[in-house]
Every structure is written in structure tokens, then in C-alpha cells.
């Protein structure tokens, strides 16, 4: 049910010929209200795709009637023509839905530089056909139409006291910075103001999608949108709603991690006893982006030296000679020196746990990443995105 | 002849059993004077190996009599015992050479965490045997003893007016940050003061080794040392000497790039019309560290979108929609939009040229890097370092 699980939403996914495989590539999610509240967060990359530029304008007033998403082309660095394509996509949807174009968000994913006349015609045609097929159980087909290298559709649902949240995601990456274009649409029938929706969205993405760092590459097209219909008529308890949204975003983030391009290990990097959350995140991210560490994990090698070499590049508060490192429950490094032998660590399971104890404070953070594999190199050298 | 090309130097390389292959693994270079001037630059990683900690103390007075280098173990994160090993190595060399231990530099490369009793005994034994074999044409054997995953020994020589410079290097990386431990020893028989040697070394490494960024990973053991014998009796023209040293360092940096682990392309990233040199370096480095771009080059895909996505993450002054990108002489992107078709770019040669015109000023910088290949993943998942 995904994005159509909450009351007040319709969705559809259709094949418009953008993908050479003929698979579905245009999705539309419509908010039937009564509220038409929306919030969105975007890639922090300065190189921003046309749909990002469009959607940033459209979200200003906190009103969102619908969102149109396409795979098979990023419409990024395609000039004024490309921006007009995003604009025309919103106008086409608005015209067919009887709403204002300024209340329609647009998302695109695929090869940067793709956005010519043929692309535009297919996106507009797909938008028209998806809107004709809108249904209250269309969330499933929409979640398939946004896939690119994803091997499975990624959806999640949470139930509250009289309200619910639904979500779909594509990509294998993170938001700020991000990669491989992460697109996420979240829906809820809870009653929220635009300010509440925005605050909830930023809080939830800040500790979930923002801490998924599969390969450190930041996309030009990342966007996470929250659409609020209020159709349940229920004003949620804010703490409960925040927890449910964070949980749902966490589930989608893990699903993105588990489907990351070519990965053979899902690595959970837990940094504890940091002087600040920022320090913990910086330390975790430095490991998540270290190719030597990531290749070692692919090779089932508990190479803790590469962990220390990675965190030594950060400005975080800690003494490199007073750090403990655990891998899959085995303490391989104590106070910056060797502890248990590396071969005691069993790295054959896909789920990999790395614990870094900075002994510098009381804060913590968790970063999700993947290993660096032959398949990653293959997919990203053979697949143009 | 390498480091023994300039007058006043002797060197040797021996097999001490640190490498499981039985290949040479301990090298010594001795400065016979009359000057005993030295300068050195070190990794900026906060996680520093014991030989780095030792050498940083030893170089303080600008006097260097000898340098002992070993492969087969990094002696990093090996605690106080490991520091004593570096200290004892210097003392052993000093005793045999009749000099002060404080004037002996030490370098190590290999697996982090390696530095136990067996390691120490082998390093001390190797030091003793290398000193017994010192000769004025030992530069060749020394250059082999410092190799780890290097496939060829890397040496270079430059001649000035009555003086010369020699050098040897190992590794596949950069200095600050660096990777795969880059060790470089430079020698000259020119007459220089310690201050002059230090200034010349920093200037030359700043535009050569510092701009080689094979995989963005910073080593705990990187060290570049310059030993000055003054044996030519010639005070060099400073401009001529600076040019010769920069040229020699540039040659060694290119040799490191061409032998980078698993690489199939040597990528020269030239950033022009930047507002500052710092901006040009930041922009070049962001591309050099972008796995998606590097994988695309491995796949012979002129994916300029990944270049723009990479540079969009920087703080450098430029408008992403006013940038030109050339690959191997073909302008694939003009003013942030598509120009010539990507398939017009021939990426089959190993030498790859990427030109990024920021149109934001008059400064420029060149960064050297490599592609991300199956062999890189293989070497770094199978080889513990």
C-alpha cells in the first residue's frame, strides 16, 4: 500500500518509454485532502537538477497537491529547456487535476544531461497516463516506477492512534550529501500544519537518510517529500508522530542500504562516547568514505588499522591512542593498539557491525554504509547515471 | 643511481625477512657529508605511526646523518613498544655509523598494527646488514627494498650546474592527505642550509606529491625526506634548484600515479580560470575522490555529469551553470549543459585528460588521480596494509 496506505492519497505508475527496458518510469502521487500540506528537503549539492530548482519554488508556501516522479533521465544540466520541462510537467498535472501548477512537486532520476524534446514528450505523456490511472491502491505501482538500479521496490508503513504514515523510496544513498539519486515520498493522513510537517520531516531525515552514506557521492537530484492529507481528522501526539516518522524513515534508509549498488556487506558504524553528535557523525562518515576500509570489509578482513587511519583525518575531539574498535563483537583494538587477533572476527555475514569508542564524551551517532566491491565498480562503470 | 647519484651518499637494501616473499625489505641511505643537512615533511593524519613520531623529533635541528626505511610492517598503533622499536632502529644505525641517534630518520610501511618482538628483531638485523653493505652505487637496491605493492622501483635524477638531485619513492598516493604509504627519499650534493632545504622541500612537494590523490585515503606513515651532503661544494642558483627539485618530484609523483594499485587510467585533472589556487585544488580533489566518476572512467564512459555533481559539493567560487568540461580534447559540456556527444571521447588510452574551466578567475591547478577498477578492489580487499 505504501504511499496510499494513509487515507486521502491516490497514486499510479506507468511505462512512458523513458527506460529502454520498457519498465514503468513515471509515477504520480496525489493528495486528495482535505489538507494539502507539504514539506520537502533537497540535496545540498550546488549542482541542482531542474526538478529540484522547480520543487524548491513550489514548496515555499507549504501547499502540495501532487508530486510527479520519473526515472530514466535526471533532467539535470539540461539548461532552460530542461527547466521548462519540469515546469510543463507540473502544469500538465495541474491542468488534469484542476489545481495550481505551483502546488505540484517534480522529481527526476537517471542520467545527468538527459532532458531533450523526446524526454519531455515522454514525461508529459507519462504524467497524463498516470493521472488517468490514479487509484487508492496505486502506491505499489508508483513505487516500481521510480526504480533505477534498485533491485526491489522500497516501501514502509507505520500506524499511529487513528492516523498512519506511508512511504516509498528509491536509490542507494543519502541526502546531504547523497548519491545515486535518492527519491522518497512520504504520506500521512494525520492533521499537521505546514510548519509541523517541515519540522517533523527535517528531524526524521536528519538522523536517518542523512546518516546513510553508501559511497560519499552527492546526487544532484535527491529529494524527500512529505504530503499531508489530514484525512484521518486526527491531530497526532507530536512525540508519537515524530517517533513513527523517524522509525519509518529508518526502515526505508536500511532498505536503501541493503539494496546499495553492488554491495556485499551492510556496515553499521556506531560511534560512541564522542564529545558531540557532530564529532560522532564526522568520525563515522570518514570511515564510511574510506575506500581502503570498504575494500577490506569486502575481503572479510577486519582491518582496524584502516579505521584509525580514516578517523585520524577528522577534526573530532579524541586521542588516536585512546580509541577502542570492535568489529562484529570482537575488540580488535584497545587504546590505539592491537587487541584480539583480526582473524577472530567473522565477517562472512552481510550485516557488519563496527563500534568505535572515542572515549571523549557521552554523545553517539550511527552511520550506515556499504563495502566497496567488484559489483559496485561494474555497475558504476557500465551503467550511465 | 637514484639517491646515490649525487656525491656524498651511500645506500643499500637487504632482505630481513619482514616480507613473506623474501624480497628486500630494509633500506639505509647515509649522508657522508661534508654537510649533514636534512628536511622532511610528514603525513597530516592525526593517527601517526611510530617512525613518524620519531622522525618529527629527529628532524627538529635540521641535521640528518642517515635514514632507515623498512617495508613489511607499518609500526603504527603498536604502542610504546613500537615507539621503542623506531628509537632502537635509530640507535642501532647511529652506533654502527658513529653518529647521534637523534640524527637518524626512520620510515616504515606495511600493515598497521604490525610491530611486535619479531618485527623489531628483523628490522634491527636488517639495519645492521644494510649498513654493512653500504655503497656509493647502492641506490638501486635501496629503491627496491622500500617497495610494497609497487610493481616497479621509482627513481629519478636531475643535474644542475655542478650539482645534482636524486630521489626514490614507493607507494601510490599523496602526502597530505595520502594513501598506501608514500615514502620518498631525496638527496642532493648542492650546498644548502637547513632552512633552504626545508623551504625547497615544502615548495616542491606542495605542487607535486600533495596534488597526487589516487584514492583520497590518507596514510599514517607518509614521509618525504631531503638529505643534503653539499659534496659538490656548489651553492646552487635558488630558482634553478627549485625548478629542478619540483621537476624531479613531479616525475616521481607521475611514476607513483602510473603504478597506482589496480589503476587502468592515469587521470590528469586540470582546473583552469579559478578564482584562487585553493579553489582549483578543492575542485580538482573533489573529482579525484568521486567514486562514481572514477568508475565511469574505468568503463571508458565520458560521464561529465558526474564531474559537475562532484564539483557541486565544493565551496569554490563558480556558477555550476557556467562551467565547461573537456575530456581528452572534446568539449562535452558548455556552460553547464551538454555539448559534444559523450561517445566522441576516446577513453581507451591510459592517459586521460580532464579539463574543467570554472570561468571564475585566472588561477589554475592540476590534480593527478586514477580510475576505480576491479583490480583496485581486489588488491585492497586481498592485501592487508
Residue B196 pLDDT exceeds 70: yes
Is A344 annotated among the ligand-binding residues?
Answer: no
pLDDT range class, residue A146, cuts 50, 70, 90: very high
Domain residue ranges in chain B = 2-258, 266-382
Superfamily of domain A266-382: ArgJ beta chain, C-terminal domain (3.10.20.340)
**Are the beta carbons of A173 and A181 closer than 8 angstroms?**
yes
Residue B176 pLDDT exceeds 80: no
pLDDT at A230: 95
- Which residues of B fall within a CB distance of 8 Å from A374? 374, 377-378
Residue A289 pLDDT exceeds 90: no
B377 with A382: Cβ contact below 8 A:
no
Is A195 annotated among the ligand-binding residues?
Answer: no
Which of A74, A79, A216 lies closest to B291 in CB terms?
Answer: A216
Residue of higher predicted confidence among A207 and A127: A127
pLDDT range class, residue A115, cuts 50, 70, 90: confident
B372 with A377: Cβ contact below 8 A:
yes
pLDDT at A121: 97
- Which residues of B fall within a CB distance of 8 Å from A173? none
pLDDT at B104: 98
Instruction: Please tell me the distance in Å from B33's CA to the nearest CA on chain A.
Output: 37
Tell me: the pLDDT tens digits for A317-335?
999 889 999 999 999 999 9
Which residue stretches of B228-384 are H helix? 238-258, 277-288, 291-298, 304-311, 374-382
Asked whether this chain's domains B2-258 and B266-382 adopt the same fold, the reply is no
Tell me: the pLDDT tens digits for A20-71?
999 999 999 999 999 999 999 988 888 889 999 999 999 999 999 999 999 9
Contacts of A64 (CB under 8 A, 6+ apart): A31, A36, A37, A38, A40, A58, A103, A104, A105, A225, A227
Mean local confidence (pLDDT), B341-346: 94
Tell me: the pLDDT tens digits for B65-117?
999 999 999 999 898 999 999 999 999 999 999 999 999 999 999 888 888 99
Residue B157 pLDDT exceeds 70: yes
**A272 secondary structure, DSSP code:** E
Is B187 known to be catalytic? no
pLDDT at A172: 63
Mean local confidence (pLDDT), B174-178: 38
Tell me: the pLDDT tens digits for B238-275?
999 999 999 999 999 888 888 887 889 999 999 999 99
pLDDT range class, residue B1, cuts 50, 70, 90: low
Plot region of B162 (φ>0 → left; ψ -120 to 50 → alpha; else → beta): left
Residue of higher predicted confidence among A2 and B215: A2
Q: Which fold has domain B2-258?
A: 3.60.70
**Are the beta carbons of A206 and A45 closer than 8 angstroms?**
no
Listed residue (A56, A58, A61, A63) closest to A42, CA to CA: A56
Cell (9 digits) for A148: 533505477
Lowest mean pLDDT among A254-258, B185-189, B198-202: A254-258
B290 with A381: Cβ contact below 8 A:
no
Cell (9 digits) for B35: 654537510
What's the CA angle centered on A80, arms A76 and A81, to 5 degrees? 80
Instruction: Please tell me the distance in Å from A111's CA to the nearest CA on chain B.
Output: 8
Please state, for a pLDDT cut of 90, what percent of chain A lies above it.
Answer: 74
pLDDT at A175: 40
Residue B179 pLDDT exceeds 80: no
pLDDT at A143: 96
Task: Give the integer Cα–Cα distance in Å for A67 and A105.
Answer: 5
**Are the beta carbons of A229 and A165 closer than 8 angstroms?**
no
pLDDT range class, residue B177, cuts 50, 70, 90: very low
Instruction: Please tell me the distance in Å from B147's CA to the nearest CA on chain A.
Output: 19
Please name the residues between 268 and 327 in chain A that touch chain B, using a CB distance below 8 Å: 289-292, 295-296, 298-299, 301, 303-306, 308-314, 320-321
Please name the residues between 175 and 204 in chain B that touch chain A, using a CB distance below 8 Å: 177, 179-180
pLDDT at A37: 95
Cell (9 digits) for B62: 635540521
Instruction: Give catalytic residues of A, as residue numbers.
Output: 181
pLDDT at A173: 52
- Rounded to the nearest integer, the mean pLDDT of chain A is 91
Strand partners, B326: B331, B355
Residue B173 pLDDT exceeds 60: no
Amino acid at each position: 500500500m505504501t504511499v496510499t496506505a494513509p487515507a486521502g492519497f491516490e497514486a499510479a505508475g506507468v511505462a512512458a518509454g523513458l527506460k529502454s527496458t520498457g519498465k514503468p518510469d513515471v509515477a504520480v502521487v496525489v493528495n486528495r485532502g482535505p489538507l494539502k500540506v507539504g514539506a520537502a528537503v533537497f540535496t545540498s549539492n550546488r549542482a541542482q537538477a531542474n526538478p529540484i530548482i522547480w520543487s524548491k519554488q513550489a514548496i515555499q508556501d507549504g501547499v502540495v497537491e501532487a508530486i510527479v516522479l520519473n526515472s530514466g533521465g535526471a533532467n539535470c544540466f539540461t539548461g532552460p529547456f530542461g527547466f521548462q520541462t519540469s515546469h510543463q510537467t507540473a502544469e500538465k498535472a495541474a491542468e488534469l487535476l484542476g489545481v495550481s501548477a505551483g502546488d505540484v512537486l517534480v522529481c527526476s532520476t537517471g542520467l545527468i544531461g538527459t532532458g531533450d524534446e523526446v524526454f519531455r514528450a515522454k514525461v508529459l505523456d507519462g504524467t497524463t497516463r498516470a493521472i488517468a490511472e490514479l487509484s487508492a491502491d496505486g502506491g505499489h505501482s508508483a513505487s516500481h516506477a521510480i526504480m533505477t538500479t534498485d533491485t526491489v521496490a522500497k516501501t514502509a508503513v507505520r500506524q499511529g492512534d487513528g492516523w498512519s504514515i506511508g512511504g516509498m523510496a528509491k536509490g542507494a544513498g543519502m541526502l546531504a550529501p547523497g548519491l545515486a539519486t535518492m527519491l522518497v515520498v512520504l504520506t500521512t493522513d494525520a492533521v499537521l500544519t505546514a510548519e509541523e510537517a517541515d519540522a517533523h520531516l527535517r528531524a526524521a531525515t536528519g538522523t536517518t537518510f542523512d546518516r546513510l552514506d553508501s559511497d560519499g557521492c552527492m546526487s544532484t537530484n535527491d529529494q524527500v517529500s512529505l504530503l499531508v492529507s489530514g484525512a484521518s481528522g486526527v491531530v497526532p501526539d507530536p512525540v508519537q508522530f515524530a517517533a513513527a516518522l523517524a522509525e519509518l524513515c529508518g526502515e526505508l534508509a536500511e532498505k536503501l542500504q541493503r539494496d546499495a549498488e553492488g554491495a556485499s556487506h551492510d556496515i553499521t558504524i556506531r560511534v560512541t562516547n564522542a564529545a558531540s553528535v557532530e564529532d560522532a557523525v564526522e568520525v563515522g562518515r570518514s570511515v564510511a568514505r574510506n575506500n581502503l576500509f570498504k575494500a577490506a570489509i569486502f575481503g572479510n578482513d577486519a582491518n582496524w588499522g584502516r579505521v584509525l587511519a580514516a578517523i585520524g583525518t577528522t577534526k573530532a575531539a579524541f586521542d588516536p591512542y585512546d580509541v577502542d574498535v570492535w568489529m562484529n563483537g570482537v575488540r580488535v583494538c584497545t587504546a590505539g593498539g592491537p587487541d584480539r587477533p583480526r582473524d577472530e572476527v567473522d565477517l562472512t555475514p552481510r550485516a557488519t557491525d563496527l563500534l568505535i569508542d572515542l572515549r571523549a564524551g557521552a554523545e553517539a551517532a550511527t552511520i550506515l554504509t556499504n563495502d566497496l566491491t567488484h559489483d559496485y565498480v561494474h555497475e558504476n562503470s557500465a551503467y550511465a547515471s
